[in-house]
Amino acid sequence: MTRMTILEAAEHFGISKEAIHNRVRRGSLEVILVDGVKMVDIDASVKANPAPKTSRVRKAPAKQVDERYYKLLEDQNSQLHVKVEKLEGETRTLRDQKEEMLIQERIKIEQIYKDKDEQLKNFLTTLSAQFMLNAPSQVKEEEHVEVEIEEIEEAIEKDVEKKGELISLKKYLKKNNYSPKKQEKIKMKFVKKAKIDERIIVIGSKYYMDTFKYDYSDLLK
């Protein structure tokens, strides 16, 4: 038997001092006071069962986790890139289709104008011949011609504006509440620029604007 202190006994068995005190209270160890110090008699040949080793979960190295995370981000980024390219391609296609539709509509409008203009020319030619044959009724016929011309021009204007792309200068100025003096000034600009400015569309004796496609701020000052 070997006499040990509480601390030595705890180290011998590999347990805590509280565990030694519990054994003393249960009577499995006997306490002896030696010079005021608690001592216990221990069989030195008896060892406590070693504490079972706790199983540890093997964690992946931090570097390996980072590589997996970055790989996941790269894959997601690649997928998003493919989707973005697909959407951009679809957008370009729609834009091209819209541009083609606008071109076709404008061609139709120009053809309508040409047809109406040809009809107007034929009508005026016929009336001119009638004037030569019937001079006394010239004033009345002139009034009739003016009415017919206005009706034709109104028909052209309605047909053009129905497309939703063009608006007559007169209607635009009226809609935006320009003063009479300002309207006259702007009309003079349009008359002056009509032959050299592709933004100005002339149909009959009227001027039209394509506000969806062009900016007219320089002419509307």
pLDDT in tens, 89-115: 899 899 888 888 888 888 888 888 778
Please enumerate, as own/partner, the contacts of 205-208 that have beta carbons within 8 Å and a separation of 24 or more: 205/153, 206/153, 206/157, 206/168, 206/169, 206/170, 207/168, 207/169, 208/160, 208/166, 208/167, 208/168, 208/169
205 pLDDT band, cuts 50/70/90, is confident
Residue 127 placed within a domain? no
For residue 80, is it within any domain? no
**Structural domain contains residue 156:** no
Share of the chain above pLDDT 90, in %: 17
Q: Give the residue, 74 or 164, on which the prediction is more confident.
A: 74
User: Taking 50 as the threshold, does the pLDDT of residue 10 lie above it?
Assistant: yes
Q: Per-residue pLDDT averaged across 187-211, rounded?
A: 89
Distance between CA atoms of residues 101 and 95, nearest Å: 10
What is d(CA 81, CA 171) in angstroms, rounded to the nearest whole number? 48
- Strand, helix or coil for residue 142: helix
DSSP 22-72: HHHHHTSS-EEEETTEEEEEE-TT--PPPPPPPP-PPPPPHHHHHHHHHHH
The continuous run of DSSP H or E covering 77 comes out as helix 62-133
How far is the C-alpha of 12 from the C-alpha of 32, rounded, in Å? 18
Whole-number percent of the chain with pLDDT over 70 = 74
Report which of residues 41 and 18 the model is more confident about: 18
Establish if 186 belongs to a structural domain: yes
Least confident of 106-110, 128-132, 177-181, 186-190: 128-132
- Torsions phi, psi for 170 (to 5 deg): -60, -45
Is 213 within the bounds of a domain? yes
Where do we find the tokens 């006997």?
A: 30
For residue 136, tell me if it sits in a domain.
Answer: no
147 domain residue, yes or no: no
156 HSE (CA, 13 A, CB side): 27
- Say whether pLDDT at 59 is over 60: no
Query: 31-50 pLDDT, tens per residue?
Result: 888 888 888 888 766 655 54
What integer pLDDT is reported at residue 190 of this predicted model?
A: 94
State the residue range of the domain holding 34. Answer: 2-42
- 1 versus 7: the higher-pLDDT residue is 7
In-domain check, residue 153: no
What's the pLDDT score for residue 139?
47
What is the count of structural domains for the chain? Answer: 2
